[in-house]
Amino acid sequence: MIVEPKVKGFICTTAHPKGCAESVRRQIEVAKKKGRVEWPNKTSDGPVKALVIGSSTGYGLASRIAVAYGYGASTIGVAFEKEGRPEKNRTASAGWYNTIAFEEQAKADGLYAKSFNGDGFSDEMKQQVIEAIKADFGQVDIVVYSLAAPRRTVVDPATGESKAVTSVLKTTGEPYTNRTLNLRTNEITEVTVPVANDDEIQATITVMGGDDWEKWIHALDEAGVLADNAVTLAYSYIGPTMTHPIYKDGSIGQAKKDLFETSKRLSEDFSGKGVKAYVSVNKALVTQSSAAIPIVPLYISLLYKVMKAQGVHEGCIEQMVRLYTEKLPAAQTDAEGYIRMDDLEMADSVQNDVKKVWDDVSTETIKEYGDIDGYWEDFYQMFGFRYDNVDYTEDVEI
């Protein structure tokens, strides 16, 4: 089938298998170029063993690549992606193709890679992964939790009944009005973000807070497959004040506070085993999850322009390579205990330049001050499109 992009709202409903493989290949190149480092906490024989939950796209895929090529790690990945339906002319999701491409390329490079597709929130998935770790790894040294989802199915342990819990992207306190970029029309418009009620905040914490991460770590430990001195990481975002009402002080920010509390609790609970849990604060980037957050697209397009002009722009893979080869081995945290991968984004030199244009930028000047082309390039490339060395007129197996 000839696969073309079909963009609907914040997502593209098609993905290109060869383009996704190219995206993975380019990310592996970045990691290979940086080269190998020693993982300092290793207690077991053989290669470092890593489990990545949310391993198929964005920061999770980049983490898997960074640990595989940075430490020579064997990796097990967990993601929830859609298989292709050739009979209905439906391509698989990008993460499906990315995962296949990663496994192929990792194996060709002599690295163990196994992937599971299904609901990472479920007990069944945790059990399947634990069995695979027992069979192939013995224990895991690194657990990355990069799952990002709009909803979670929760099972009531008393009744066995399951219900869907849905997160919201709203503010807290007062409704918040600011400008956003309409990426369909490149117009700057005003948007008012409504206030989340207590139930919505609680639901967002259930989906995107630390509960499931904690469940994974306890399940791994109880099964005896969490190595002594293991390290586990989850990801967060803080950002500048103009994004605080929608992010840091919004419903998602409440979930991220819970994630950070969870990291402290995990490090305490497992201190006897030497296990450390970190939250890494990453840079704002175009991913399938971030594209849906109001106001953020305008900020990202101004940020990209400034960071590219200053020569400090990074994508997911550059961020994760720097995390796993530099900041994590050195256990470099700020005073609160966060690993700050957003150090370049939050530098005064960058934020001052973004602030200078934030209030004045208009539909007429957005092309000058914002990196709209860079935003769209990242967006299309996430789904395997717009790579100059992929032939998009070719028939491909979906």
Residues designated as active site: 247
The contact pattern for ligand NAD, residues 80-109, with x = CB under 6 A and - = no contact, is xx-------------x--------------
Stretch in the footprint of ligand NAD (CB under 6 A) among 74-82, 163-171, 174-182, 183-191: 74-82
What DSSP state is assigned to residue 83?
P
**Near ligand NAD by CB under 6 A: residue from 193, 226, 285, 354:** 285
Residue 42 or 244 having the CB closest to ligand NAD: 244
d(CA 259, CA 238) in angstroms, rounded, equals: 13
The pair of three-digit structure tokens given for residue 48, joined into one six-digit string: 């470092």
Under the binding rule (CB under 6 A), the answer on residue 287 touching ligand NAD is yes
The pair of three-digit structure tokens given for residue 270, joined into one six-digit string: 């497992």
3-class DSSP assignment, residue 44: coil
**Near ligand NAD by CB under 6 A: residue from 14, 23, 27, 57:** 57
d(CA 117, CA 95) in angstroms, rounded, equals: 10
What DSSP state is assigned to residue 56?
S
Under the binding rule (CB under 6 A), the answer on residue 120 touching ligand NAD is yes
CB of 78 to ligand NAD, least distance (A): 5
The pair of three-digit structure tokens given for residue 213, joined into one six-digit string: 């991460």
Residue 289 or 325 having the CB closest to ligand NAD: 289
The pair of three-digit structure tokens given for residue 305, joined into one six-digit string: 């322009």
Residue 271 or 332 having the CB closest to ligand NAD: 332
**Near ligand NAD by CB under 6 A: residue from 54, 84, 209, 384:** 54
d(CA 52, CA 63) in angstroms, rounded, equals: 8
Residue 80 or 375 having the CB closest to ligand NAD: 80
Under the binding rule (CB under 6 A), the answer on residue 79 touching ligand NAD is yes
E strand segments, the chain: 7-8, 11-12, 49-53, 74-79, 113-117, 140-145, 151-155, 162-166, 176-182, 187-193, 226-236, 276-281, 339-340
Rg (CA), the chain: 21
Closest Cα to residue 278, out of 298, 301, 262? Answer: 262
**Near ligand NAD by CB under 6 A: residue from 119, 221, 261, 343:** 119
Q: What is the largest CA-CA distance in the chain?
A: 60
Q: How many residues bind ligand NAD (CB under 6 A)?
A: 29
Closest Cα to residue 89, out of 199, 156, 182, 6? Answer: 6
**Near ligand NAD by CB under 6 A: residue from 102, 112, 176, 235:** 235
Under the binding rule (CB under 6 A), the answer on residue 143 touching ligand NAD is no
Under the binding rule (CB under 6 A), the answer on residue 320 touching ligand NAD is no
Under the binding rule (CB under 6 A), the answer on residue 58 touching ligand NAD is yes
The residue number with the shortest CB distance to ligand NAD is 58
Q: Which residues make up the interface to ligand NAD (CB under 6 A)?
A: 54-60, 78-81, 95, 119-121, 146-149, 235-237, 282, 284-285, 287-290
